[in-house]
């Protein structure tokens, strides 16, 4: 898959790109490039422009959610509430495996962080998209936050960061994903459009990898913000899709984003 490090823009939203409000490229050193980068790797430097998802390493999902670490997610449209924890089991963080730590020294553990969001009840489609930042840009129906496809230094988060096998990991304060969670969501049905899997901060829905007729979508099938309107449908039915390729989920906002921390 293309490495998203080269598919980020702060000026011009484009299909297959992440439209970031600001770049943090090179601001500080993060983990080393793993053997799934298709290039010559030296520490955190790589010549790779593509990477191999099938070779990516993950933290095993061994930790059951119990007590105060159980999810309290609820949707009462347009209010979204919960403690930010997923309803599925997770990996055990901080990472203890020495190999994985070399690729991602994330020192954080999984903690709750309140979600008390008021999303736009009737999302409005804008021809001119808005950029996304580094924090929450939405929530999955697992109960945990969606962050954009970037790590803290404007690199392809899914390629560089070590998540658990569900696709989530903790930041200093919140468990989050940068791509479609592999756990806790309704499975796709062959031949059918994916089910709703979450909401972006602008109130538009996020659906899984399958478009109309069950066709697996790529970023190139979607618009600059990684969404579409089905033929004949009104703009109010705009929605985002997840894909396997960068930027994985929301690439920019089509609507006006509510404050979602």
Bond before 234 cis per omega within 30 degrees = no
Q: Which neighbouring-strand residues pair with 2?
A: 50
Q: Least CB distance from residue 31 to Zn ion, whole Å? A: 12
Contact stretch for Zn ion (CB under 5 A) within 23-31, 35-43, 130-138, 203-211: 203-211
Contact characters 12-51, Zn ion, x per CB under 5 A: ----------------------------------------
Q: Which of these, 138, 158, 161, 152, lies nearest to 241 by C-alpha position?
A: 138
Pick 34 or 211: Cβ nearer Zn ion = 211
Residue span 159-178 as binding mask against Zn ion, x where in contact by CB under 5 A, dash where not: --x-----------------
Interacting residues of 167 by C-beta distance below 8 A, sequence separation 6+: 158, 177, 178, 179, 180, 181, 182, 183
Query: Which of 67/232 has CB closer to Zn ion?
Result: 232
State the nearest-atom distance from the C-beta of 161 to Zn ion, in Å. 5
What Cα–Cα distance (Å) separates residue 94 from each residue in 55, 165, 258?
A: 22, 14, 31
Q: How far is the CB of 207 from Zn ion (least distance, A)?
A: 6
Residue 95: CA count within 13 A, CB half-sphere: 24
As a whole number of Å, the CA-based R_g of the chain is 17
Q: How big is the site for Zn ion, counted in residues (CB under 5 A)? A: 2
- Of 203 and 211, the one with the shorter C-beta distance to Zn ion is 211
- In the complex, the smallest distance separating the C-beta of residue 208 from Zn ion, rounded to whole angstroms, is 9
Residue 194 CB, nearest distance to Zn ion (Å)?
Answer: 8
| Distance of closest approach, residue 212 Cβ to Zn ion, in angstroms | 6
Distances (CA, A) of 218 to 118, 210, 224, 228: 30, 9, 12, 12
Length of the chain measured in residues: 261
CA distance linking residue 248 with residue 209, whole number of Å: 9
To Zn ion, the closest distance from the beta carbon of 151 in angstroms equals 6
What is the Cα–Cα distance from 222 to 82, expressed in whole angstroms?
Answer: 31
Handedness of CA 29, 30, 35, 39 (dihedral sign): negative
**What is d(CA 121, CA 43) in angstroms, rounded to the nearest whole number?**
46
Q: Which stretch binds Zn ion (CB under 5 A): 47-55, 77-85, 124-132, 208-216?
A: 208-216
* Footprint on this chain of Zn ion (rule: CB under 5 A): 161, 211
């Amino acid at each position: 898959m293309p490495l998203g490090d080269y598919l980020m823009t702060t000026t011009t939203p484009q299909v297959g790109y992440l439209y970031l409000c600001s770049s943090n490229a090179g601001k500080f050193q993060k983990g080393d490039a793993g053997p799934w980068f298709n290039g010559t790797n030296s520490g955190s430097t790589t010549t790779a422009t593509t990477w191999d998802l099938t070779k990516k390493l993950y933290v095993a999902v061994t930790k059951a959610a119990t007590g105060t670490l159980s999810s309290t997610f609820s949707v009462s449209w347009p209010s979204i509430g919960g403690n930010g924890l997923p309803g599925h089991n997770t990996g055990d963080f901080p990472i203890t495996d020495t190999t994985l730590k070399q690729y991602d020294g994330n020192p954080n553990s999984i903690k709750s962080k309140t979600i008390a969001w008021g999303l736009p009840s009737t999302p409005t489609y804008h021809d001119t998209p808005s950029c996304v930042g580094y924090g929450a840009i939405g929530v999955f129906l697992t109960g945990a936050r969606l962050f954009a496809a970037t790590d803290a230094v404007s690199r392809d988060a899914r390629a560089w960061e070590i998540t658990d096998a569900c696709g989530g990991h903790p930041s200093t304060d919140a468990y989050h994903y940068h791509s479609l969670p592999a756990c806790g969501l309704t499975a796709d049905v062959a031949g059918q459009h994916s089910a709703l899997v979450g909401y972006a901060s602008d109130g538009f829905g996020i659906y899984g990898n399958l478009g109309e007729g069950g066709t697996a979508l790529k970023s190139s099938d979607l618009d600059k913000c990684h969404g579409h309107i089905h033929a004949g449908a009104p703009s109010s039915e705009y929605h985002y899709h997840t894909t396997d390729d960068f930027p994985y989920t929301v690439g920019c906002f089509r609507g006006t984003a509510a404050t979602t921390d």
